[in-house]
Amino acid sequence: MHPRIEDYALIGDEQTAALIGRDGSVDWLCLPRFDSAACFARLLGDEENGYWRIAPKGVEGPCTRRAYRPDTLVLDTEWETGEGAVRVTDLMPQRDRAPDLVRVVEGLRGRVTMHSTLKIRFDYGSIVPWVRKSGGQRVAVAGPDSVWLRSEPEVRTWGKDFGTHAEFTVEEGEKVAFVLTWHPSHEARPKAVDPHKALHSSVHDWQKWARRCHYRGPYRDAVVRSLITLKALTYRPTGGIVAAPTTSLPEEPGGVRNWDYRYCWLRDSTLTLNVGLSAGYREEAEAWRDWLLRAVAGDPADLQIMYGLAGERRLPECELPWLAGFAGSRPVRIGNAAVDQLQLDVYGEVMDSLYLARRAGLPAKPHMWNIQASLIEWLRAAWRQPDEGLWEVRGGRRQFVHSKVMVWVAVDRAVRTLEENPELPGDLEGWRALRDAVHREVCERGFDPKRNTFTQYYGSRELDAALLLMPRVGFLPPDDPRVTGTIDAVREELGQGGLLRRYSTDRTAVDGLPGDEGTFLVCSFWLADALHMTGRGKEARELFDRLVGLANDVGLLSEEYDPVQRRQLGNFPQAFSHVGLVHTALALFGDDEAG
C-alpha cells in the first residue's frame, strides 16, 4: 500500500531536504540543492527509483514510534521487536562544503539485527550509477554526481539487484553510524564528517535557535515546529524560501494537479518575513528581505511571482514520464510554467513587507525606496490589467478582486511610507488619488450587493477564500457589513467539513484544470483570523485547534487536506500552511503572550 503524504518527516541542512517514511526509508532527496535532481525518488515512483531504508531485519511495516528531538530537526525512529528495541536517528548537519545525510543506529534493548538497503538513482530515479568499493567505502558515480557511503564502525556491504546492502546487529548501548556524502564527480572526495559530533552539534544548534522564539502563548510547540520547518525550507546561501521541498505531490490523488514547489515565491518569502519579525527572528527576516530586494530588482514590468533559490528567472516546466507519480498521480512535473504569469497581488505583498521591515527598524538599503517607487509607478499604468491571480489559474486572465485589493495595499503602503518619511521622494498626492481610484473600483465592480459579498472576479458569482484577507490588510474595517457578509458567504459556499476550499472547482473552469482538490489549509487559517477580527473569538480558537490537530505525528502540514478521506494532500511540508499557523497563533493569543 502506498504511503500517505503524512507518513513522512522532514530533515534538512537549509540547502536541501529529505523525506523519511514511518518505515525508516528515505524516499526523497535532491542533491545538492532543493531544486536539484533527486537521487532518491521512490516518493514519486517505486523502489527502482531510489531509496535508502534502515530497519530491523524482516520488519516491513511502520516503526513503533518516532519523534523529533525537542525543538530540533533531528528525527528519532524506534522499533520494538521480539529481539529487542532499536533507534535510528536521522539528520543532515550544517554543511561545510558537501551535503551529508547521517543515520545513527543505536541499540536500546536486547540484540537486534538490522538491514540497510541503499539504491541510488540519479536524475529523478532514471540513472543507475556505477558502484565500486574504495578504502572500505562504497562510491556511486554517474555523470556529474558522486555519492560516498561509509559506516562507523565499518560494516560489510554487498551488491544485489543494483543496490547496496548491509546487515549487522546492535546490542543495548551500541551504535553504528552511516554517512552518505554527495559531491561533484569531477572533484576530490570531501573531508569526512564525524557523525556523532554532527549529531551533538545539530541538536545544540537547533535548540539554541528555537530558544530565540519570543512566543510563549498556547500551542507553543506547534508554533516552534512551524518556525523550525520554515527555517529548514530556507536556502541559507541566499535567504530565499522554497514553498515546499517536493514536486508533484497531488492535490487530488490520481489527478493532474501536480506542481513543482521547490522554488521561491515572492508571496511566501514576504509572509515568512512578517511572521519572522513577529516571532523574534530579526536576522532571518533581514536575510529574507535582502533576498526579496535582489529578486525584484530590475524593470518592474519584469517582476516574477517566483524565482530560483539564487534568484534564477528561468524555471522551464517539463514532465518525467518514467515516474508513475505519488499514488499514480501523473504527470510528474519539474519546473513551473506559472513563472511567466502576471499576478498583481505580489506587488502588494512586496510593498507591505518592505513597509513592515522599515517600521520594524531593519536597516534600509540605499536602493530600496527607489525599487519601491518604481513598482508603484508601474502599477499606476498597469493596475487595470487582468491577471492570473493568487492561485495561478491556467484558464485565462481575469479581473480578480484579491489582486486589485493587493494593488491597493501596494499603493497604500507607499503613501504611508511617504507620510512617515517625508524626506523620501515620491508623488504623494498622485499616489493618494491612485489608492482612492483602486478602492472605489473594487467596491463598485467587485461587490455583489444582492448577496452582500465580494466576489472572485468582476462580474462573477463565484467566491474566493482570499477575500477573507480584506480586513487583515486594512482594505475595509472588520466591522464593515460588506466584510462580515463576505466572511459568511465564503464560509457557507466554500466550506467543506468545517474547513475551506480556496475556490469552487465544481461550477467554474476558472483554473482551466480537470478534477478536484482538497480544502486549502492556509485559507482555513485565514478564516480563523477573520473570525477573530470580527469578534467571533470562540469560533476562531476552535477552528485553530482543529487545524493544529491536522498536522501529522511530527507536527508537519501539507498544502491541502481531504476531510472525507482524512489525509493530507499537495506538496509537503508547505511553507504557506506553516506561515498561516504561526500568524494565526500570534493573532489569536496576543502580544501579551508573545514576547
CB 449: neighbour CB atoms within 10 A?
8
pLDDT in tens, 137-156: 999 999 999 999 999 999 99
pLDDT in tens, 363-375: 988 899 999 999 9
pLDDT in tens, 489-529: 999 999 999 999 999 987 656 888 888 899 999 999 999 99
Helix, strand, coil percentages in the chain from 3-state DSSP, rounded to 5: 35, 25, 40
Indicate whether 334 pLDDT > 90: yes
Alpha-carbon span 50 to 29, nearest angstrom: 9
**Contact between residue 258 and residue 318 where contact means Cβ atoms under 8 Å apart:** no
Cell of 515: 478534477
- H helices of 111-193, where? 122-125
3-state SS class at 83:
coil
Phi, psi of 527 (to 5 degrees): -65, -45
Q: HSE of 29 in the Cβ direction (CA atoms, 13 Å)?
A: 33
Q: Do strands 495-496 and 453-454 pair parallel, antiparallel, or not at all (unpaired)?
A: unpaired
Cell of 560: 491541502
Indicate whether 592 pLDDT > 50: no
pLDDT in tens, 202-237: 999 999 999 999 999 999 999 999 999 999 999 999
pLDDT in tens, 405-462: 999 999 999 999 999 999 999 999 999 999 999 999 999 999 999 999 999 999 999 9
Indicate whether 1 pLDDT > 70: no
Q: Report the pLDDT value the prediction gives residue 593, as an integer from 0 to 100.
A: 43
**Contact between residue 486 and residue 476 where contact means Cβ atoms under 8 Å apart:** no
Alpha-carbon span 108 to 76, nearest angstrom: 12
**Interhelix angle 428-445/401-420, nearest 10 degrees:** 160
Alpha-carbon span 90 to 410, nearest angstrom: 44
Alpha-carbon span 483 to 161, nearest angstrom: 62
Is pTM beyond 0.85? Reply is yes
pLDDT in tens, 22-62: 999 999 999 999 999 999 999 999 999 999 999 999 999 99
Indicate whether 594 pLDDT > 60: no
Q: Which letter does DSSP use for residue 328 in this model?
A: G
**Contact between residue 347 and residue 73 where contact means Cβ atoms under 8 Å apart:** no
SS3 letters across 491-517 = HHHHEECCEECCECCCCCCCCCCCCCC
Q: Which letter does DSSP use for residue 35 in this model?
A: T
**Contact between residue 571 and residue 256 where contact means Cβ atoms under 8 Å apart:** no
